[in-house]
Structure 1
Amino acid sequence: MPSTIKETIQEILEDIVAFRRELHEYPELSGEEYETSKRIQRKLDQYHIPYETGFAGTGVLGIIKGGKPGGTVALRADIDALPIMEKTNLEFTSKHSGKMHACGHDVHTAMLLGAGAVLNHRKEDLEGTILLVFQPAEENAPTGGAKQMMEDGVFHKYKPDAILAQHVWPDLPVGQFGVMPGPMMGNSDRFKIVVKGASGHASMPHQTVDAVVVANQVISALQTIVSRNVDPMDSAVLTIGRIEGGYRYNVVADEVTLEGTVRTFRDDTKEIVKERLHTIVKGVVDGMGADAEIQYYNGYPATVNTPEWADLVKATAQRLYGESSVPHLRPSMGGEDFARFLQKYPGAYYWLGTSIGEGQKPLHDPYFIVNEDAIPLGIELMAQTATEGLKQIQKRAEVSEAWLNV
């Protein structure tokens, strides 16, 4: 029988990699992860890990009760894919046309199962309970699956003292990890602006209100929000990602739709950008004789790590892989549904280096590839951090009890 975590990982690694590839071949979009959920349940059965279902439709909760009393640490992986046509030509490329695990959720799910198998193998030594949270619909912003899982009672029976999650990160080489206290990922909001003018013949623009021209002015004016309303020492991004309007070359458009996103770290900065967006759009369209409808969608909140748990992830990684394994990094403006778990419970979200080197494509790219050499590292760091986390919780409880008895 394997006696160390590393040895246990080597025993199951081939199976975990094969399972990751199976998930990659059969991706399912947010809210449609029915077969993915069944596959996860079969693997939990294989590893003799009890579980519960019925959270956010397809979510699964694995439960590992340790042999000793103690706290509870939850480990989370997202399970959904993206509506992207894969172009990698891997042996295990997606068999579902127009769907792809282009954000590494297949890897997250496989590594969480691996960590669960490792921890279950050593459960008699665990000082508390480990929860394996398989979350659907992470990509379905701004709704997501985290909030629904909690509303469906995923933590009603076992309330976590802390929750941890990892995400593949193509900007880091295998063997390096990204973690920091405080904001790790940003608020990720969406907006839709429909500029409404008056149509007519292109040769007689004086009889029209050109929605294309008005939309152009709106776009230019919105770019002043970050440069002139946000503190230069703070961070914000406002991007228009989609424009649609017009009928044909010789018709003045009476309607143009703009869709975009706002990214911030601080909630007060978010409110400044949101307020200025509404004010500027109204001012521009009023001044040009047009009208506008604005829909602003509050998306995922910022992913803010609890310092205690971010420090534990960092210390564990450095102990396992050396001081240089956790370089100094800046947070990302990307959005993450895990933030909603962190609003309710202490914990940390961290990045796992998965770069293939030259030719690496970014997340959400149809050519995105994960370096599978990172999988055993992800399993080990998650399992070791969970184990150390339970010890930390137990030690804190013992100190508190000692103070009460003084």
Structure 2
Amino acid sequence: MLLIESILAEAAGIAALRRDIHAHPELCFEEARTGDLVARQLEAWGIEVHRGLGRTGLVGVIRNGTSDRAVGLRADMDALPIQEHNHFGHASRHAGKMHACGHDGHTAMLLAAAQYLARHRHFDGTVYLIFQPAEEGGGGAREMMRDGLFQRFPMEAIFGAHNWPGLKAGQIAVKTGPCFASSNEFKIVLRGKGCHGAMPHMGTDPVPAACQMVQAFQTILTRNKHPLDTGVISVTMIHTGEATNVIPESCEMQGTVRTFTTPVLDLIERRMRQIAQSTAEAFELECDFEFDRNYPPTVNHDAESAFIREVGTELLGADNVQEFVPTMGAEDFSYFLQEKPGCYFVIGNGDGTHRDGGHGLGPCTLHNPSYDFNDELIPIGASLWVRVAERWLNRPR
């Protein structure tokens, strides 16, 4: 690995900032303290800061030379509503809130890159440092765009990264095309007529209809969707009934749908609606069907994906640049990629052996109460961000 020596020298200080952020997690659109910390650091390094995008988001601007070219680098800042199980010194001090996805580390990696870029500026153009709020369900990327991100800070391309447990520290993985799925939610309410459990003929029971729907939804994937297309339908909640001897009046089902393309999503939503309404009618029930589309699929652009592979190979070595296996998880960087060319890739977080004594007994996986970001990634990710910015701005247009 050809990591940048001065970034390695400053890594301990940046890791301390990361642990401070981890100890003070803030949920989506609440990242005031984190934003203040980031802004203070950027301004201390002489970086121009713009706040208030997407409510609590901010953009740092580093310019050099005379070129009008620009590139964007993004880190997310928000935490999750999870009770942390770790007990080491930088564990969360706020009950029910935790950096269980490594956004504290993403912020730290971009801060480390910002410090280097501000001091050395071996590029001709502008680097936009995008510190985004509310990735965890709030659509912070979309909100920053609504506040004029790309109009106020015009850039040719945008790049983002996520730590990835199980992939070795020092490795990255990249996928051209769809890499993260769309995220969508549904809610179905069946309304019948409640009655005594011993006299079912006196009522209209929604429970058998709900059971039929759960099974029938899976036939969309196996009999309506093309076998080579990818989709997931998961009914994750069924709420009904209050007593063992009472047939309930209503039944509510909720769940998630994941796809890599909009046409497959259109098909699934249409067929789910038809199945829900027709099944309810067959059982003489009323049916309310809601389908909410959240994050679209994250689809990397060809040239920008090849560029990340090129930079990663130069910095880390060819053996440490892997092919990313797409995940059905979702990521709101997808909104950026709908508007700008770019690439979203992952950086190995290791197997969890980096955790200090006092960590929880669970695995070091994302959205797990025993997770912790691997500080070894800070100089790796920061060096990558520096080389991405320098190579992009110094290459032919």
Relative to the length of structure 2, the TM-score reads: 0.94
Is residue 2:81 matched to residue 1:86? no
Q: Residue in 2 aligned with 1:327?
A: 322
SS of the aligned residue for 2:328 comes to coil
Q: CA deviation at 1:5?
A: 6.5
SS of the aligned residue for 2:152 comes to coil
Is residue 2:129 matched to residue 1:129? no
Q: CA deviation at 1:88?
A: 2.1
Q: Residue in 2 aligned with 1:385?
A: 388
Q: CA deviation at 1:154?
A: 2.4
After alignment, is 158-167 or 358-367 more displaced? 358-367
Q: Residue in 2 aligned with 1:175?
A: 170
AA at the equivalent of 1:378: G
Q: Residue in 2 aligned with 1:400?
A: none
Indicate if the aligned counterparts of 2:141 and 2:332 stay in contact, CA closer than 8 A.
yes
Matches within 5 A, 1:46-125: 46-123=44-121, 125=122
CA distance in 2 between partners of 1:283 and 1:114 (Å):
57
Q: CA deviation at 1:357?
A: 4.6
Q: Residue in 2 aligned with 1:16?
A: 14
CA distance in 2 between partners of 1:340 and 1:298 (Å):
13
Is residue 2:208 matched to residue 1:210? no
CA distance in 2 between partners of 1:361 and 1:243 (Å):
30
CA distance in 1 between partners of 2:365 and 2:192 (Å):
39
Q: CA deviation at 1:70?
A: 4.2
CA distance in 2 between partners of 1:390 and 1:209 (Å):
67
Q: Residue in 1 aligned with 2:180?
A: 185
Matches within 5 A, 1:387-406: 387-392=390-395, 395-396=396-397
CA distance in 2 between partners of 1:7 and 1:50 (Å):
25
Q: CA deviation at 1:319?
A: 1.3
Indicate if the aligned counterparts of 2:179 and 2:324 stay in contact, CA closer than 8 A.
no
Is residue 2:244 matched to residue 1:253? no
Q: Residue in 1 aligned with 2:349?
A: 354
CA distances 1:51-72 after superposition (whole Å, capped 9, x unpaired): 1111111111100002342410
Deviating 4+ runs (over 4 angstroms)? none
AA at the equivalent of 2:98: M
CA distance in 2 between partners of 1:286 and 1:90 (Å):
56
CA distance in 1 between partners of 2:257 and 2:236 (Å):
11
Indicate if the aligned counterparts of 2:240 and 2:252 stay in contact, CA closer than 8 A.
yes
CA distances 1:7-27 after superposition (whole Å, capped 9, x unpaired): 220232111101111111111
Q: CA deviation at 1:117?
A: 1.0
Q: Residue in 2 aligned with 1:146?
A: 141
Indicate if the aligned counterparts of 1:70 and 1:390 stay in contact, CA closer than 8 A.
no
Residue 8 and residue 68 in structure 1: after superposition, are their counterparts in 2 closer, same or farther (change >3 A)? farther
Q: Residue in 1 aligned with 2:265?
A: 270
CA distances 1:354-380 after superposition (whole Å, capped 9, x unpaired): 023577432111122222212211111
Q: CA deviation at 1:118?
A: 1.4
CA distances 1:291-326 after superposition (whole Å, capped 9, x unpaired): 211111111111111111111111111111111112
After alignment, is 322-331 or 103-112 more displaced? 322-331
SS of the aligned residue for 1:372 comes to coil
Relative to the length of structure 1, the TM-score reads: 0.92
Q: Residue in 2 aligned with 1:234?
A: 229
CA distance in 1 between partners of 2:351 and 2:45 (Å):
30
Is residue 2:29 matched to residue 1:34? no
Indicate if the aligned counterparts of 2:352 and 2:364 stay in contact, CA closer than 8 A.
no
Q: Residue in 2 aligned with 1:159?
A: 154
CA RMSD of aligned residues (A): 1.5
CA distance in 2 between partners of 1:228 and 1:179 (Å):
32
CA distance in 1 between partners of 2:231 and 2:104 (Å):
30
AA at the equivalent of 1:49: I
AA at the equivalent of 1:370: F
Q: Residue in 2 aligned with 1:401?
A: none
Residue 384 and residue 257 in structure 1: after superposition, are their counterparts in 2 closer, same or farther (change >3 A)? same
Q: CA deviation at 1:328?
A: 2.5
CA distance in 2 between partners of 1:121 and 1:5 (Å):
17
AA at the equivalent of 2:383: E
Q: Residue in 2 aligned with 1:288?
A: 283
After alignment, is 285-294 or 127-136 more displaced? 285-294
Q: CA deviation at 1:387?
A: 1.2
Is residue 2:302 matched to residue 1:299? no
SS of the aligned residue for 1:300 comes to coil
CA distances 1:225-248 after superposition (whole Å, capped 9, x unpaired): 111111111110111122212111
Indicate if the aligned counterparts of 2:351 and 2:364 stay in contact, CA closer than 8 A.
no
Residue 329 and residue 148 in structure 1: after superposition, are their counterparts in 2 closer, same or farther (change >3 A)? closer
AA at the equivalent of 1:369: D
Indicate if the aligned counterparts of 1:356 and 1:371 stay in contact, CA closer than 8 A.
no
AA at the equivalent of 1:230: K
SS of the aligned residue for 2:55 comes to coil
AA at the equivalent of 1:47: W
